[in-house]
Amino acid sequence: MSEKPTLDQWSAAASKEVKGKDLTWNTPEGIAVKPLYTEEDLEGWDAGLPGFAPFTRGVKASMYAGRPWTIRQYAGFSTAEASNAFYHRNLKAGQKGLSVAFDLATHRGYDSDHPRVTGDVGKAGVAIDTIDDMKILFDGIPLDQMSVSMTMNGAVIPILAFFIVAGEEQGVDRKLLDGTIQNDILKEFMVRNTYIYPPEPSMRIISDIFGYTSREMPKFNSISISGYHMQEAGATQVQELAFTIADGAEYVKYGVASGLDIDKFAGRLSFFFAIGMNFFMEVAKLRAARVLWHRVMTKLGAKDERSKMLRTHCQTSGVSLTEKDPYNNVMRTTIEAMAAMLGGTQSLHTNALDEAIALPTDFSARIARNTQLVIQEETGMCNVVDPLGGSYYVESLTKQLVDAAWEIIEKVEAEGGMAKAVAAGWPKAMIEEASAAKAARVDRVEEVVVGVNKYAKDKEDPIDILDVDNVAVREAQIARINKVKAGRDEAACQVALDALREGAKGKGNLLELAVECARKRATLGEISLAMEDVFGRHGTFPTPVKGIYGGAYGEDAKWQGLVDGVSSIERRMGRKPKMLVAKMGQDGHDRGANLVSSAFGDLGFDVVAGPLFQTPKEAADLAIKADVDVVGASSLAAGHKTLIPELIGHLKDAGRTDIKVIAGGVIPAQDYQVLRDAGVQAIFGPGTNLVNAATEVLQLLGHNQPPEGIDEAAE
């Protein structure tokens, strides 16, 4: 019998095969991934058994051999009627739970007739203005039998109130309502920005929801603590993990401070993580999250093991989807779905192949949903509990993620908790630095995206997309608002709104008071405004990071050529070229805008990072006041056909047709000509190489010589 080979022998053999090349991979999280793992890497680590503390291997002893995860489809578009029909089709096709996407006007607490939301109504989710909308949304869907997840944070009080009253008017007692409301405002202040009120009253809202649901809705999860939007904003998996767990700890502390027993509400908390393309890292992240939550809840004084059990929904990554060669997105979503399953998620949404461009069609949504059905029904993956448990690599990664995230969590706690950290801004800055660094890696092809920066097609084939008629939806919503207001007892409605306003000043439970407003047919905007009258409306200004994107290029000839081009324009104009990066409408996702601001700032542009949520008129006024040369309009939520032409119209009316307007973001190729006809001079879709984009902008400004080495084919 031959002797067992040693690690030294393996190392020598591997080194010979690759001619001495170092096979260690340094991840964006700062983790050095070796080419081989053995039992020696697990010294001092015990993952335990599924269903037992600290739940590393899963929260159920039998998962998924006993029951598979819940298949959800995050969906909602245009009207309640259209969304309801879509839900019924999906449920018939195998979906097990509803996950509702609301439009941005709803998220930000505005009724559809508000002048600030003309381009947003029905575009990125369903418009909900009244209790009638909510009742139509769930028409024919028994709320005592269906688990409903609602992604809502800013306008969480009126939306949850509408849901409760819709159940009542269906004949369903609120004690039977099952599902989850996201209700995670710290994440909004950090990355997603669909907040309404300042941090302190926002945290009070969360405590009031905890209190009401723990008393009245025992089956309902009162918060879904979300790391998803952190990763979508550019966070590494360590950052997503650490800040999500720290957010959860902060919410628990607020709940306890408001007088709640930790074990009375903590068992109804749930989590929401993104699942990206770093397969094994994502598997390990979910395992590490369960370990960390058990540790945190034990430190906070929880006694019930259910309070220490991290249950999570997952969604495949949106940012990993590409506009170019979009059928590759089917494979990406499949890989990410498998990572979520092998990590032990309780429910899962799989993104559709066209979601880098628009809302999913029925065709693409069916493929996304069937991805989960195939995994559950055809692969045998569900027959073994935690099939990757015991993998040297996965267990080692889990341990390293626990340790790395715990360092950040301890820093948060040392500085007074997550609310103070968010107010100080350093978590957001960390995420934006990671985002800029990733963008540079992709643009430099240090990180491959198949079909985008490598193996790209010569010509893209058009695909069918879902297009929502924003004008028609808004008109229908306004008609329904007017009908509801005309048919209600106006005096009784105003009494209920006044009571909510007084409750915001004092100690009344805001959700309880809002439920009464919903019963009296107050609109979402009226309920939100009653609280805004007391709390005010929160606003922030972007502060793009500096030196990260440009620093990745060093002395690169392409980059240096652009820097020289900017300097040439500066000499000609007598000042630096100036760009306003404008975020119009109610979309708060600002990753793309911040990346553009960072990259162009590093090149030497004078960048004006406009405030979020501007109207086209406000953006035009700022462009004129700042005397910019270019306005870069960032669009993510399909309002581009309304908002950008209106911006150009205001510039024209002011006699400033010299200010060039370019557009970037989630803009389908089918819409390019509409924007060009309106006067847009350059359009940059998802995945655009920022170096190539800067080249085109410099040419618009009169610098006609492309920097040496720019690969035009990469555009």
- Single out the residue of 580, 661, 657 nearest to residue 626, CA to CA: 580
- Integer Cα distance of 188 and 184 in angstroms: 7
Clarify whether 393 is annotated catalytic.
no
> Annotated catalytic residue: which of 74, 87, 110, 197?
74
Q: What distances in angstroms separate CA 373 from CA 83, 181, 330, 383, 519, one per listed residue?
A: 22, 25, 14, 14, 39
DSSP state of 183: -
**202: Cβ contacts below 8 Å, ≥ 6 apart:** 185, 189, 195, 196, 538
State whether residue 244 is helix, strand or coil: helix
Q: Per the structure block, which two tokens stand in for 19?
A: 């001619």
The single-letter code of the amino acid at 127 is: A
Choosing from 60, 187, 399, 583, the catalytic residue is 583
Q: What is the dihedral of CA 76, 79, 82, 86, to 10 degrees?
A: 10
Q: Three-class SS of residue 645?
A: helix
DSSP 172: -
Q: What is the DSSP annotation of 344-374? A: T-SEEE---TTTTTSSPPHHHHHHHHHHHHH
Is 595 within 8 Å of 636 (Cβ atoms)?
no
Edge-first strand listing for the sheet containing 70-75:
220-221, 179-181, 148-150, 97-100, 70-75, 347-349, 312-316, 269-275, 223-226
**Residue for token pair 């890497």:** 41
Candidates 60, 107, 187, 229; catalytic one: 229
Question: Is 123 a residue of the active site?
Answer: no
Residue with tokens 């010979």: 16
Question: Which of 551, 611, 548 is closest to 584 using CA atoms?
Answer: 611
| Angle at 433 (CA atoms; ends 428, 436), nearest 5 degrees | 125
Strand-strand pairing, 223-226 and 179-181: unpaired
Q: What is the DSSP string of 450-494?
A: BTTTBS--SSPPP-------HHHHHHHHHHHHHHHHHHS-HHHHH
Query: Is 327 annotated in the active site?
Result: no
Rounded (10°) angle between helices 426-443 and 237-257 = 160
What is residue 670's DSSP assignment? Answer: G
Residue with tokens 């058009």: 462
d(CA 518, CA 434): 43
Active site residue 672: no
Q: Which of 184, 386, 587, 671 is catalytic?
A: 587
The one catalytic residue among 294, 589, 640, 650:
589
Burial 448-477 (b: 16+ CB within 10 A, else e): ebebbbeebeeeeeebebbebebeebbebb
**Known catalytic residue at 589:** yes
Q: Which of 64, 212, 228, 251 is catalytic?
A: 228
Residue 212 appears among annotated catalytic residues: no
Give the residue numbers marked as catalytic. Answer: 74, 228-229, 583, 587, 589
